[in-house]
Amino acid sequence: MTQRMTITRPDDWHLHLRDGAMLKAVLPETARDFARAIIMPNLVPPVVTAVDAAAYRERILAALPDGSDFKPLMTLYLTDDTDPADVAAAHADGLITSVKLYPAGATTNSSSGVTNIDKVMPVLEKMAAIGCPMNVHGEVTTPEVDIFDREAVFIDTVLDPLRRRLPELKVISEHITTKNGVDYVASAGDNLAATITTHHLIINRNHMLVGGIKPHYYCLPVAKREEHRLALRKAATSGDKSFFLGTDSAPHIDPNKESSCGCAGVFSATNTMACLAHVFEEEGALDKLEGFASLHGPAYYGLAPNEAKIELVKSAIPVDYPAHIETGEGPVTVFNPGYDLHWRVV
Ligand code: DOR
Ligand code: ZN
């Protein structure tokens, strides 16, 4: 039996598009289903100034397929030296939507990130005053802290103290992976929300490590134990407006993933809506998919939802999603949920 469902066209509130040939190859995969996306600034070199963001935005628009009306929502990469006035001007111009805080060393291309919150307080205070939100990669980088505990420790030692110090700052805790993150966000007030990735709703750390290491499931924050995945699924499918989709689709060419020191990142742009429909159907919550993918994000960012709709169709025969996409730099493996997908966007 064919099942059909129409929802408001979704947005991706956390996306890596890269640059050059990679940008050209991955952008259509997102623009096909999504109307807008928050574009991560962790290029090499990073997008740190308004001038950088304007130039990157132009490169994205130039790489769009003909006729696409996809809108990149630009971010700035916060460094210890970011100028509050530059952020304020870029936000007032509508050039940037938010600013991304990477703790230095937390993830891919984060070496120019923030070394100490105190150093960026003037910028954060300015952002709070002008209503510019902060996206945060919520992991500590302290070597003594176990990688599986880094998110929980960040909440206790960095995020909660910061939010008490500056409650007016609007924060998005990016790609939460733990029950601790879910509980913290659910109990916080209006100025905290969280994105959840597609893959963290589907894989736990066993999927990555049991029966041989699966480099294409390695990302940061790393997938946690099953109880955390279940907490994320519950949050995403609950209808709570504090949780919305940020795929964190992060392409790396296969040789850089299948390596003795593999890069972190899962590329899920190609089949994200199919994976989500599968998850929400499993949870008996297909009626909550539109909120998660299309409504809660714009509401939190103070934007209107998209006017356009998409139709999702479920067929008896599995959909043949590509195992990888070709880029000018090499193949990029598409996220494999480990089961057949029957949903597609038409
Ligand atoms: O897995 C990840 N990949 N996590 C991040 O935070 C960055 C991203 C990337 O840029 O590859
Ligand atoms: Zn990311």
The pLDDT tens digits for 2-25 are 799 999 999 999 999 999 999 999
Which of 219, 257, 333 has the most ligand 1 atoms within 8 A of CB, as the residue to mutate? 219
User: How many angstroms does the Cα of residue 106 sit away from the middle of ligand 2?
Assistant: 11
How much is the average pLDDT of 42-60?
Answer: 97
Q: Rounded mean pLDDT of 220-237? A: 98
pLDDT tens digits for range 128-179: 999 999 999 999 999 999 999 999 999 999 999 999 999 999 999 999 999 9
Confidence tier at 1 by pLDDT (50, 70, 90): low
**pLDDT at residue 180 is higher than 70:** yes
Ligand 2 centroid–CA 41 distance in Å is 9
For residues 107 and 137, give the distance between their C-alpha atoms in angstroms, rounded to a whole number. 9
Closest ligand to Cα 37: 2
**C-alpha to C-alpha distance for 87 and 93, rounded to whole angstroms:** 10
Q: How many residues does the chain have?
A: 346
> What are the C-alpha distances in Å from 141 to residues 97, 135, 146, 235, 291?
26, 17, 9, 26, 33
Pairing between strand 243-245 and 309-314? unpaired
Q: 275 with 198: CB under 8 angstroms?
A: yes
Percent of all residues in the chain with a pLDDT value above 70, rounded to a whole number = 99
What are the residue ranges spanned by the domains of the chain?
A: 3-345
pLDDT at residue 220, rounded to an integer: 97
The ligand 1 atom nearest the CA atom of 174: 6
CA 40 to centroid of ligand 2, rounded, Å: 7
Q: Which of 135, 155, 139 is nearest to 147 (CA)?
A: 139
Mean per-residue pLDDT, 62-79: 98
- Looking at residue 109, what is its pLDDT? 84
Question: Which amino acid is it at 131?
Answer: G
Question: Rounded to whole angstroms, how far apart are CA atoms 95 and 86?
Answer: 11
Rg (C-alpha) for the chain, rounded Å, is: 19
Tell me the pTM.
0.98
Pocket residues for ligand 1 (CB within 6 Å)?
Answer: 16, 42, 107-108, 137, 219-220, 248, 250, 264-265
CA–centroid distance, residue 47 to ligand 2 (Å): 14
Label residue 88 by pLDDT band (50, 70, 90): very high
Backbone angles phi, psi at 226, to 5 degrees: -55, -40
Domain 3-345 fold: TIM Barrel (3.20.20)
Active site residues: 248
CA of 13, nearest ligand number: 2
What pLDDT sits at residue 131? 98
**Facing residues of 326 across strands?**
331
- Residue 206 is predicted with a pLDDT of 98
Ligand nearest to the Cα of 267, by number: 1
Q: What are the C-alpha distances in Å from 176 to residues 14, 100, 202, 285?
A: 12, 15, 13, 20
Contact 140, 154 (CB under 8 A): yes
Q: Confirm if 135 and 174 have CB atoms less than 8 A apart.
A: yes
Confidence (pLDDT) at 110: 87
169: left (phi over 0), alpha (psi -120 to 50) or beta: beta
Per-residue pLDDT tens for 25-37?
Answer: 999 999 999 999 9
Interatomic CA distance for residues 134 and 100, integer angstroms? 6
Which amino acid appears at position 150 of this protein? R
